[in-house]
Chain A
Amino acid sequence: VTPTESIPLLIVVVLLLSASGVDPDAMTIHYAGDRDVATMEDVLIVAGGSVSVPADAAIDGQVYVIDGQFEVAGTVDGSLTQLAGSVAVPASGTITGEFQTIAGRSDVAAGATVGSRQVLEVDPREAEGGGAEWLLLLLQILGLGLLGYLLGRRQPALLENVGRAVTDHPGVSSVTGGFAGTVLLVLIIAMAFTIVLIPVSVIGLGVLVLTVAYGQVAIGYRLVQPLGIRQARWRAALGGALVAVLLEVLGTVPLVGGLAAGVVALAGLGAVLITYYGLRRFVPPTIPGPA
């Protein structure tokens, strides 16, 4: 795990610490190797390697595990939050505060003492084949449909421009969407690394997601054109919902399905960008040359 790869979870930890009023300067980060901890600053972050609180030791403060292994054979006089990695609390271990597991593997022995226990981890086997996927799809259909309705009611010309860019210039739209989407994601993550710009990166991510959704609605608006729906708002709403279903169906095709769905989504994003969010029609420059 490199610094950059560790940072997203570190950011989450810093956010949690800030929310609880703890000074981030009081953090101790363990990244690699084995270590026994008998004393600590206010906050200990296990970001790799193996950290153990020996049976005869007691540490006072908050502990966060974002990678590696953490064993509590002694006492943690405070809370333990697990975002990834693994945590083991044998029978001799004590956590006086809350032990919260958001993700990762945890093992609490029967005789261990834990103030309170909260597990937010979702078992993928439960989600798979259950109602979660259908609920998510329903939300996507409703979300894109609603976005389409609103855009179609107020600005159908924008949808027309974006939709045309996708169908008339699929190559440029896809390449632009793929390239810009990747670079913007890197930029958003880079901004988050600075800690100070986390709010900007969160807003940026939101804008990016909305832009992708806008592109999908525009594709749908174009797709349902042959149906002859007169009212733009209903055409856009139906188109948005249809694209949500189509992307889901595409995603189920083995091997190429996910890729195809991704290309469609990126083409929408690219079309939005090259038309300046639909404000202009995209017309590539004319270059004189042999016919």
Chain B
Amino acid sequence: VVGYGLYVAFMAAGYYYNVTFVQLGLLDLGTRHVGLSRTGVSWWMAGLALLTVVVAIATGVAVDRRGLGRDLHAKLRLLFGVVFVQVLLVAIAPHIRSVAGFGTWIVVAAIALGVGVPVSFGLTVDLVPAPDRGYVAAAITAAAYFLANVYPLDWRIETFSAAMLAAMVPGLVVLGWLASGRSGLVDALADQHERFGVGRFCHPEPVGLRSRTFASLLVLTFAVFFVDSLGFLRIVEEPILVVSSWGSPAFGDHLLLAVVHVIGAVVAGVFYRNFRKRTIYLWVFGLFALSHLLYTLDIQLGQLFPTLGGAPPVVNPATYAVAVSVYTTLNFALWPDLSTPDTIGTHTAVGVGVSGWLATFMSTALALRLQEADVGLLSHLNLVNAMALLVFVGLLVAWYVGNARHHGAGGEAA
């Protein structure tokens, strides 16, 4: 239970840092303090994503080659280093005023994030048994998104910095004690990977990096992040679409989204434990398609009936929030479950790096290109919706063909 608590705390804090400080704080820092345009900041963030992937994969490979996947003490020491750098970055950020300083900050942040991905995910094999990973991933998602939605509502870098420092400094002290080697608790947890370090999908044989299973899941998860990011980047640019949700001045709207995120995470945890991967992916793409459909429908209705107006109803962002929670939970559980203690570094680095960070980089780049080409809101969301529907239908077809082959093979054997 202590291991579960530690893991949830580390991962939720890391993800909270990601979705608030990095994704929202940097935008404020770049535009308000450094004087960059929103497009300029977006390009810098795309660069951050790309560099993070490179560093993550390099670190992951190094972790596996040195056998650190089985060394909890080493992983905690590395994590301490990452969090220490991040605390410094968080403290420095509000004082940056130049493009050079902003760029340097981005590079250092990307290195810290890149190292942090395989190291933090690598803790899974020591702290969470395979049967419980769906529920634990749900707890991480629920905690991170709940907090991110309710605090802080003021998306300024100073506010983010103060909030993050208040949480990270005590966490750094605890992590330092755990990483020091003087904790009997860590010694007690250090051998657990022998009992439950092998992931759910690595039975009876481990899944290889070049296997069809890994590749197909990588492509699917990449598509999830890509669809989400491409759609969200456009939605948040439209004040009318966020005024009753993420951009609302009312705390109640944020609280509602936070609760919806928690519900989505719980559902995802139950689904992950009790259903097959394909079912969960179908839900994710189906939900994204539905969510974008609702947004485009509202816009189309507004065009058909100009006298009808106003912000979209809460069901739109709520559906979106559920979809995000479902795939985030999946992401936290999936890559460790495709790994063993000997492959956890590379597999999680490639999985999270390529499907998460690289997809974010590419979707940001595409969103900026579409913006420069003056593609309208409706066309943009239609494009995202088409992608989600395409993958959804593709999955259904794959499911059907797979079943047909299975039954065909059974028929021949009989």
Contact = CB atoms under 8 A, between A and B. Distances in A.
Q: Do A and B interact with each other, yes or no?
A: yes
Interface of A: 1-7, 10, 29-32, 47, 169, 171-172, 175-176, 178-179, 183, 186-187, 190, 193-194, 274, 284-285, 287-290
Interface string B131-158: 1100000000000000000000000000
A94 B294 CA distance: 41
A172 B270 contact: yes
B313 A2 contact: yes
A194 B308 contact: no
Chain A contact residues, majority secondary structure: helix
Interface stretch (B79-87, B193-201, B217-225): B193-201
Interface stretch (B245-253, B298-306, B373-381): B298-306
A290 B197 CA distance: 10
A4 B298 contact: yes
Nearest to B286: A183
B211 interface: no
B338 interface: no
A288 B203 contact: yes
A184 to B, nearest CB: 10
A169 B200 CA distance: 21
B178 to A, nearest CB: 22
A31 B307 CA distance: 6
B216 interface: no
Chain B contact residues, majority secondary structure: helix
A187 B276 contact: no
Interface string B299-327: 00110010111111101100100000000
B287 interface: yes
30 contacts: A2-B310, A2-B312, A3-B301, A3-B310, A3-B312, A4-B312, A4-B313, A4-B315, A7-B301, A10-B305, A29-B307, A30-B307, A31-B307, A47-B308, A172-B274, A175-B266, A183-B286, A183-B319, A186-B294, A186-B319, A190-B297, A193-B297, A274-B274, A284-B274, A287-B131, A287-B273, A288-B200, A288-B203, A290-B129, A290-B195
A7 B311 CA distance: 14
Given A2-B298, A10-B305, A31-B305, 17 more contacts: A2-B310, A2-B311, A3-B305, A3-B312, A4-B297, A4-B301, A5-B313, A7-B301, A29-B308, A30-B307, A31-B309, A175-B270, A176-B271, A186-B315, A194-B297, A287-B131, A288-B200
A29 B302 CA distance: 12
Contacts of B311: 2
B110 interface: no
Contact of B308 (A31, A175, A186, A274): A31
A291 B111 CA distance: 39
A175 B326 CA distance: 13
